[in-house]
Chain A
Amino acid sequence: MKYLLKNGRVVNPGGESGMLDILVENGVVAGMGEALFAADAEVIDLSGCLVMPGLVDMHCHLREPGYEYKESIYTGTRAAAAGGFTAVACMPNTNPVCDSEAVVRYILDKAAAQGAVKVYPIASITKGLKGEELSEMGFLQRAGAVAFSDDGKPVENPRMMRLGLQYAKNFDALLISHCEDKALAAGGVMNEGIMSTKLGLGGISRVSEELMVAREILLAEALKTRVHIAHVSTRGSAELIRQAKARGVAVTAETCPHYFAATEEMVDGYDANTKVNPPLRTQDDRQAMLEALADGTLDAIATDHAPHHADEKLVEYNLAASGISGFETAFALSYTVLVKGGVLTQDELVRKMSVAPAQILRREGGVLAVGAPADIMAANVTEPYEIDVSHFQSKGKNNPFGGMTVCGRPVLTMVSGKTVWKNGEIVI
């Protein structure tokens, strides 16, 4: 199938940008230029849209195997496609945990057979996420794991984390750290501060995140290796990363849309859809995320897409599962808050959501160029729309942004030259 993407404005920080048409053939970009013509191609008119390299999410939960009632590779990758993502890296806190070649292969096979977008499995740092013994990083990487993380929880023992970082050097593997001091965070279900005091809910100190960020930076620095910090949410964490980068530590970091689009105030009313770990923070932290995205301290925006069953959220706040179903709101929230808000240029946003995650994971993608895989997304950034969680492709409707008016609806997602999402529908 041959496609001609016409009349869109290409935002492509790694290559040519501007009012360009894109010819897609045999799964790759076959041509880019002004007023292209191809008699035998299906023309997709993208007038008024931005056309970008497909978004790459370096942090999500597809829940399969084991928690298919929350999400599956089938539904999760469709949700990703609906959000403009062409590749997603899924965390290993499945059941069984992705700590064996068998599970890595299961995910890859399932994704190949049923997935709508590319799936990159992340394997666990420690066997069973127990923090006791290292996973077989060599075998796991060979099987297709793109990085290692115990996400969902920290590697609590600093010696274990040190060994993981050290061992990973042999395979030039990336470790992604969920930064949380569990002892300090114990009993907390939201950010500790004026809102937790007002609402009478247990607070999670910002220090529980920042202590771990500091630990990972110091370990990576001492071991002269790299580390990636997941879901940064506080001003203090951003500052630690900023300082580390300034002295040359190979640390990279991501934040998520909810940390720059929402604050702890949203917890008022006890809607468990606002429960997420790390928790929604303060206005000052939100501001710090914007600053850190703008100055490059934060390299990437990841979704931390964490779908849950409705029953897991329709309970007492303390008992509710943590996480936000984020694939289908990530781009629009980011575009609205960051680009419309004057924090990032369109180019910079594409860097954070496509170029940088691909680079950090050392995967293809992040660029539109002749010969490159045709992983493309287009978004309508002119017509505002209201977020309606009931229309999600994801099984998880747990997202606190329903009803919010945003700008940046993904209208086309193409993976390896195949159209998977078009005008509000999955088309595979």
Chain B
Amino acid sequence: MALKRKDLLGLRGVSREEIEEILTTARQMKEFLTKNQKKTPHLQGKSIVTLFYENSTRTRMSFELASKYMSAAAANISASASSVQKGETLIDTGCTLDQMGTDVIIIRHPMGGAPHLLAKNVRASVINAGDGMNEHPTQALLDMFTMQERYGSLEGLKVAIVGDVAHSRVARSNIWGLTTMGATPVLAAPETFIPMDMAELGVQINHDVDSAVKDADVVMGLRMQLERQQAGLFPSVREYSEFFGLDDRRLALAKPGAIIMHPGPMNRGVEMTSALADCDQSRIREQVTNGVAVRMALLFMLTRRNLG
């Protein structure tokens, strides 16, 4: 139950065996959570720091609670986005944390590749909690955990991912993870939200949501950043929700019993209707719980490695 790697920077290049091991460990961690036994000694004597250069409530809290539930010393650093350019360099900050005895640094950063730069320059393990539009591996792991809970295996699942794929680190990590696990991601979004040459990653791309959702086992909505409208990527929320929003009619096209997911925070009525988000098939709330379990598993497995 130890990972043979120092860091988790993304799911690109992470093997099926590693993902399976993380998900298996997460299942045990979820038992601790749900048995109301929220104090385990797994991380006793470990120091874990979240280093966030972007605002976040859910991911940061999830990591922090995961650390605390397992008895680690947890601390947070909030660096504003402007300090990325003006303040101390990322490498210097990382080395400072190293010197203070940090075992794991959890970083969120507005720029792709920042966790990789950090990881190369610190002794501590680095977990990527979201870098620009690149990856958000723990989100994808919790998504896959949620799918696995429902279906047992990810093999052969059709996962419709609807929304702004281009700017979504959640989508990228899911694409890497799901393709590794034998599932098929099917994307649907306005073409301005589909990155160049995406199809080469082994995903299907649809121009209309109906065909993407048809017969899907999982329907995942992505958060629409409303400021993308000012940037000219889509003309209006009205048009977006009409042509790309998820609703009851579209869900009816999916396999019976298909689950609905969203990484949050949601724009209700934009990427999906409230009725859909709150229906029985929705796993959106469960995803949050699973996030803590997956992060507990990961922190445990990475720090075990440090013990040698």
Contact = CB atoms under 8 A, between A and B. Distances in A.
Interface stretch (A10-18, A188-196, A289-297, A405-413): A188-196
B109 interface: yes
B113 A196 contact: no
Interface string B95-127: 000000000000001011110110000000000
B109 A316 contact: yes
Contacts of A198: 12, 201
A197 B195 contact: yes
Nearest to A197: B195
Interface string B185-224: 0000000000111101100000000000000000000000
B169 A200 contact: yes
B112 A311 contact: no
Given A192-B196, A197-B195, A197-B197, A314 B112 contact: no
A353 B154 CA distance: 57
A94 interface: no
A223 to B, nearest CB: 34
A270 interface: yes
Nearest to B166: A197
A316 B94 CA distance: 13
A315 B112 contact: no
A336 interface: no
Nearest to A203: B196
B89 A311 contact: yes
Interface string A261-276: 0000000011000000
B19 interface: no
B206 to A, nearest CB: 17
B146 to A, nearest CB: 23
B131 interface: yes
Interface residues of B, number: 26
A427 interface: no
A208 interface: no
A236 to B, nearest CB: 15
B85 interface: yes
A201 interface: yes
Interface string B161-188: 0000000010010000000000000000
Contacts of A202: 133
A201 B90 CA distance: 18
Contact of B132 (A197, A314, A318): A318
A7 B6 CA distance: 56
A281 to B, nearest CB: 13
A319 interface: yes
A397 B48 CA distance: 35
A199 interface: yes
Contact of A269 (B116, B195, B197): B116
A197 B172 CA distance: 9
Interface string A170-211: 000000000000000000000011101111111100000000
Interface in A296-320: 311, 314-319
Contacts of A311: 89
Given A200-B132, A200-B135, A201-B132, A315 B196 contact: no
A193 B201 CA distance: 12
B84 interface: yes
B59 interface: no
Interface in B110-158: 111-114, 116-117, 131-135
A222 to B, nearest CB: 31
B91 interface: yes
A104 to B, nearest CB: 34
B133 A200 contact: yes
Contacts of A269: 116
B135 A196 contact: no
Contact of A317 (B112, B135, B172, B195): B112
A269 B12 CA distance: 12
A270 B113 contact: yes
A245 B23 CA distance: 61
Contacts of B172: 200
A38 to B, nearest CB: 56
B195 A316 contact: no
Contact of A318 (B89, B112, B196): B112
Given A316-B84, A319-B85, A201 B134 contact: yes
B113 A314 contact: no
Interface of B: 12, 84-85, 89-91, 109, 111-114, 116-117, 131-135, 169, 172, 195-198, 200-201
> Which 4 A-B pairs give the minimum distances between C-beta atoms?
A200-B134, A270-B113, A194-B197, A200-B112
21 contacts: A193-B197, A196-B195, A197-B195, A197-B196, A197-B200, A199-B112, A199-B134, A200-B112, A200-B113, A200-B131, A200-B169, A201-B112, A270-B117, A314-B89, A314-B91, A315-B90, A316-B111, A316-B114, A318-B112, A318-B132, A319-B85
